Amino acid sequence: MSTDVKSRRVIQGEETRDALIGAARELFGTQGYAATSTEEIVSKAGVTKGALYHHFSDKERLFRAVYEQIQREISDASVVEFLQADKFEPLVTGCQLWVDSHSDPIVRQIVLVDARGVLGPEVTRQIETRFSTVALRGALRTAMHAGVIERRPLRPLAFMLIGALTEACLYVAAAEDAELARDEVSRLILDLLAGLRAA
């Protein structure tokens, strides 16, 4: 088999996988995991059921791929600010961007509503840790080394902040006035992080 044919197959395989993840993301996000069938996913992706099972052993594995993609995007949205955490404002902005990235209804449904029920709390925590918690931990470490915030136990602090930010996302998502809720959360993020500032 020539290299060109092999390369084309690899590219087609990646395109098929991406199409499945994109279709599943939209359907899981608009209908919820339980209400979405594999038939709907393959139809929306324009592929066969065999292609689905070639890339993913079952619907749950496909959901996991979607969840990982979203967690990567959430982390990426904050990481630019987090990389500048040797100053206080980018740390606050990074946390706010993390909350804002959950405002998309599709992201909310997948991350805040379905993920723990589908994947279980242990798997969702592992994935969240791999992406968001690691990025936040790096920002906190930078801020501590720069003297922006007081030195504290890093790992538990990162988990506690992610927990608080996740609850903030749930609060904003459930609010009748999302704009007001977002403003309230923004002020509280600032207050929370200000409590960590070095004297």
Task: Render pLDDT for 75-85 as a digit per residue (tens, 0 to 9).
Answer: 888 887 888 87
Asked whether the beta carbons of 67 and 111 are under 8 A apart, the reply is yes
| 155 within domain boundaries | yes
125: which 2 tokens? 């925590």
Please state the rounded mean pLDDT for residues 97-107.
90
**AA identity, residue 156:** P
Q: How confident is the model at residue 121 (pLDDT cuts 50, 70, 90)?
A: very high
**Strand spans (E) along 16-93:** none
**Cα distance between the two ends of the chain:** 66
What is the four-CA torsion angle of 154, 159, 165, 169, rounded to 10 degrees?
160
Q: What total of structural domains would you count in the chain?
A: 2
Please enumerate, as own/partner, the contacts of 181-184 that have beta carbons within 8 Å and a separation of 24 or more: 182/99, 182/100, 182/103
Q: Which of 33, 56, 79 is at the close of a domain?
A: 56
Q: List the domain range (segments joined by +) for residue 46.
A: 1-56
Together in a domain, 77 and 163 = yes
State residue 5's pLDDT score. Answer: 60
Together in a domain, 91 and 51 = no
**AA identity, residue 147:** G
Together in a domain, 1 and 35 = yes
Q: How confident is the model at residue 67 (pLDDT cuts 50, 70, 90)?
A: very high
State residue 4's pLDDT score. Answer: 65
100: phi then psi, degrees, rounded to nearest 5: -60, -30
pTM assigned to the model: 0.86
Please state the rounded mean pLDDT for residues 137-148.
92
Together in a domain, 9 and 103 = no
Task: Render pLDDT for 28-64 as a digit per residue (tens, 0 to 9).
Answer: 999 999 999 999 999 999 999 999 999 999 999 999 9
Please state the rounded mean pLDDT for residues 121-145.
91
Beta-carbon contacts of 112 under 8 Å, excluding residues fewer than 6 positions away, are 102, 166, 169, 170, 173
In Å, the largest CA–CA distance within the chain is: 66
As a whole number of angstroms, the distance between CA 187 and CA 79 comes to: 21
As a whole number of angstroms, the distance between CA 85 and CA 180 comes to: 27
* Eight-class DSSP state of 102: T
| 199 within domain boundaries | no
State residue 81's pLDDT score. Answer: 82
What is the four-CA torsion angle of 105, 92, 162, 169, rounded to 10 degrees?
-30
Tell me: pLDDT of 1 over 70. Answer: no
